[in-house]
Chain A
């Protein structure tokens, strides 16, 4: 619940990732910097195409070759500079020091292998455990993520689990080697709300016990308010606002953050919905400067230049990137 504690487990510095469309390279993640400390949850929020998943894939070194590449910046995981490391080092880090869970467990789990084997596999690979030891450890992990009757389900196949249970299995898989960093890309988006609450509670509990640094990627500001310590809002590949969750929801400052909150229907009712006019520009049509300018009610000529980050209300932890806000 605090700022970074101790050494950050994950540091991203000036990350720029480009993707190739019709022979042209476009910067779809631009100059992103952040760090996440142990026991801390940083939420990366934005709508489809804002670059939040691409950021995760860049960190995991899972970018599809030839069509996507990191063009600038540094990624440091647990003290190791991933961007400078060779392939063997990166492979050793991935799944060991840094784990990832995805929205749809079915695309990550192998449908024809029992889950006990799949969880144990990374322990055999990274830790050199015997099959027997890996199986015993897989059982402990299933217990850890609270899969009921874990011993009986070690030999079950992914299709024999419900959606919520599959997500737990994937969490067990990601945590097998006790990573320092967990990247969770829309981990509960496909789940029903009551199951979402269970999985998020489980993640929070494991994070506390294992001292994990969590990078949570989500489009749901409700989830952010419930579980994150800090939040970064992305639009069109840029971070437009970042800060502690309390400060952000108290004074949402970027016009896009404000618009996003005003477009959300509330369970508490009251208030009309304010849709954001227009849509995200396509990559070739991205304007120079602030990428939100075409949809922004506060647009001014200066928006053709990219604004710097400025503190909100004198709070150096809460930063916004908007000319209209920085002059106030």
Chain B
């Protein structure tokens, strides 16, 4: 982890404006990303966990420039992604790809799978004419689909098979990094395990790095080496997966872990009804965003947002009460 990271995200910011209220709507700013920093090494799988609305999907979209960021920097292999020109951005896109949660909405329902996979090859000038088909077949083979899949349409496949197609398309250009945004959340457990195994073997075979976005701690524990925990647009904790799972430091990370059900009656989840709701990102609490739900919170937490700081080698936490 001491060498230069493949992806380095510093202080990334993204604000949305929405108009809310009735009868007189007011323009409100939502800080979807409020200074998010993390890095990913070559071949490393970094997990980002957090609840809906915490900004975890926005991280992927802003870092890939699928939407403009409002501040901060994203460096990919020493190249400034946010400042890249058109030609450079196109070169970058060959190396950074994304897999979405719902492959059905990411695929064109009237385009044959062979064309969906061949298109990026042609666009980026990797293959032309008759050379496309063998490359498509090799991609299909790599994700465990038969060659004949190339001639079929998305609706002819099950959810798990469609996700394999989504993965094949992300692999088509030989990327170094894949953002995977809840790639197994819509799948049944048995199929989820198939896809996780596939991603794991691809990671090993191509030394692929992953930013793996998920709300499921079990999945992250299986797939990732390092973890970033987000709450309402901010990183609250980051560090190596085994350490975070064994001794979560931030009170929110602890709540997440305690609330996650395990298939073992001896380890039932902690169920309390007074833990409060996650606040709306439109109107976040002052100070530490988590303080209204936190048992440890005091006056300082209500006023002053804690900074992310290193508390042990490789472990960072943003909490006034820790360390």
Contact = CB atoms under 8 A, between A and B. Distances in A.
A279 B160 contact: yes
A193 B258 CA distance: 9
A193 B263 contact: no
B99 interface: no
Nearest to B192: A263
A104 interface: no
Interface string B184-218: 00001111111011000000000000000001111
Interface residues of A, number: 46
A245 B51 CA distance: 29
B259 A194 contact: yes
Contacts, number: 137
A274 B189 CA distance: 10
A223 B271 CA distance: 11
Interface string B246-266: 000000000111111111110
B155 to A, nearest CB: 14
A227 B190 CA distance: 22
A263 B194 CA distance: 8
Contacts of B265: 225-226, 245-246, 249
A222 interface: yes
B151 interface: no
A70 interface: no
A50 B188 CA distance: 11
Contacts of A155: none
B220 to A, nearest CB: 8
Nearest to A199: B273
Contact of B262 (A198, A202, A245, A267): A267
Contacts of A224: 263
Given A198-B273, A273-B222, A275-B193, A266 B262 contact: yes
Given A225-B265, A226-B268, A263-B193, A202 B273 contact: yes
Nearest to B269: A226
B221 interface: yes
Given A201-B272, A265-B222, A220 B278 contact: no
A164 B51 CA distance: 12
B190 A259 contact: yes
A200 B269 CA distance: 10
B219 interface: yes
A197 B277 CA distance: 11
B191 A192 contact: no
B242 interface: yes
A205 B258 CA distance: 19
Given A146-B273, A201-B272, A269-B242, A220 B218 contact: no
A221 interface: yes
Contact of A265 (B188, B221, B258, B271): B221
Name the residue among B158, B191, B217 with the largest chain A CB count within 10 angstroms. Answer: B191
Interface residues of B, number: 45
A245 B258 CA distance: 20
B275 A194 contact: yes
B36 to A, nearest CB: 19
B185 to A, nearest CB: 10
Nearest to A259: B190
Nearest to A252: B263
A196 interface: yes
A110 interface: no
Contact of B261 (A226, A245, A246, A263): A226
A162 B262 CA distance: 25
A195 interface: yes
A249 B188 CA distance: 20
A223 B262 CA distance: 7
B277 A196 contact: no
B299 to A, nearest CB: 23
A261 B263 contact: yes
B45 to A, nearest CB: 13
B277 A195 contact: yes
B260 A267 contact: yes
Nearest to A277: B194
18 contacts: A47-B188, A47-B189, A162-B277, A162-B280, A163-B52, A193-B215, A195-B277, A196-B259, A197-B259, A197-B269, A197-B270, A202-B273, A219-B188, A219-B189, A222-B263, A225-B261, A265-B219, A276-B193
Given A198-B271, A200-B271, A249-B263, 11 more contacts: A165-B277, A193-B256, A194-B51, A197-B275, A219-B189, A222-B262, A226-B268, A266-B218, A267-B262, A268-B267, A275-B194
Interface of B: 51-52, 158, 160, 188-194, 196-197, 215-219, 221-223, 242, 245, 255-265, 267-273, 275, 277-278, 280
Lowest 5 CB-CB distances: which A-B pairs, in order?
A222-B261, A201-B271, A276-B190, A275-B193, A265-B218
